[in-house]
Amino acid sequence: MSAGRLAVVGLGPGAPAWRSPEATARLSVATDLVGYAPYLDQVGPLDPEPRRHASDNREELDRADQALSLAADGGDVVVVSSGDPGVFAMAAAVLERLEARAAVGTPAVEVTIVPGITAASAAAARVGAPLGHDFCCISLSDVRKPWEIVERRLTAAAAADFVLALYNPASRARPWQLGRAIELLREQRAESTPVVLARDVGRPGETVHVTTLADLDPTAVDMRTVVIVGSSTTRTFVDVGGRQWVYTPRDYPA
């Protein structure tokens, strides 16, 4: 049997309009879908219906291996991630296993990474343009890196006056990390710094709140939320229609 191919596809945050035509095209011809069960559900029904291989969210390397094997056996395989597959998601895991296979001479399969709209971009669009100047994305999860590294990066990013997009901000298993992160940020940023809490952006039940670093309540934040913390230049205003906007100007004061 000839080798198939594998696409690591970003589904975007949730809304169908935020899924790229390339992602839709790869899904429409897939024989096999591999991914974390909620992301397989996010794909919705397909015709023809592919085989769906659901897995736990922590088994990324196993899932990557499984997907590469299915492709090597001739499948047209799609690994699904929410948002962008290269941002805290499956693309890196697939490449890690692809590299391991290359090292032992396993025949290659054609691999494509299909980008998607990442949570930070989607959340930013809802409130305006908070990522209009330099920003960085930090995952607060200490599942894949030591917490000391998270603290070091938060401190450095805060000192360098980046806007921050915080992914994986809190979960039941990680209840205190966001509180500690806020403490570190408050040491270096004004209390009035705008903060955006965007939950389930582009999905049913979406909520987006604008608050400040002083008023930010960590208990209002969960795993389905991305948190954007402004820099020293991030501003908010209310337009004549009463809508509140958040943006970071393009120019930085000299």
Q: Is 84 in the site for ligand SAH (CB under 6 A)?
A: yes
Q: Is 60 in the site for ligand SAH (CB under 6 A)?
A: no
- The type of residue at 217 is D
Distances (CA, A) of 101 to 90, 106, 118: 17, 5, 29
Span of 31-39, 61-69, 97-105, 219-227 interacting with ligand SAH by CB under 6 A: 219-227
Span of 17-25, 149-157, 198-206, 208-216 interacting with ligand SAH by CB under 6 A: 198-206
Q: What is the DSSP letter of 213?
A: T
Which residues pair with residue 194 across a beta bridge?
212
Q: What is the DSSP letter of 174?
A: B
Q: Is 89 in the site for ligand SAH (CB under 6 A)?
A: yes
Q: Is 177 in the site for ligand SAH (CB under 6 A)?
A: no
Q: Compare residues 13 and 130 and give the one whose CB is closer to ligand SAH.
A: 13
User: CA–CA separation, 81 vs 43, rounded Å?
Assistant: 10
Q: Is 223 in the site for ligand SAH (CB under 6 A)?
A: yes
The minimum distance between CB 122 and ligand SAH, in angstroms, equals: 6
Q: Which of 164, 167, 177, 216 binds ligand SAH (CB under 6 A)?
A: 167
Per-residue x/- marks for ligand SAH, 103-122, CB under 6 A?
Answer: ---------------xx---
Order of strands, sheet of 51-55, starting from the edge strand that comes earlier in the sequence? 51-55, 32-36, 76-81, 5-10, 110-114
Span of 38-46, 56-64, 79-87, 144-152 interacting with ligand SAH by CB under 6 A: 79-87
> How much of the chain is helix, strand and coil, in % rounded to 5?
30, 25, 40
User: CA–CA separation, 133 vs 167, rounded Å?
Assistant: 19
Q: Which of 14, 35, 75, 194 binds ligand SAH (CB under 6 A)?
A: 14
Q: Is 248 in the site for ligand SAH (CB under 6 A)?
A: no
Contact in structure between 114 and 9 (CB atoms under 8 Å): yes
- The type of residue at 27 is L
In the complex, the residues that contact ligand SAH under the rule CB under 6 A are 13-14, 81-84, 87-89, 118-119, 167-169, 198-203, 223-226
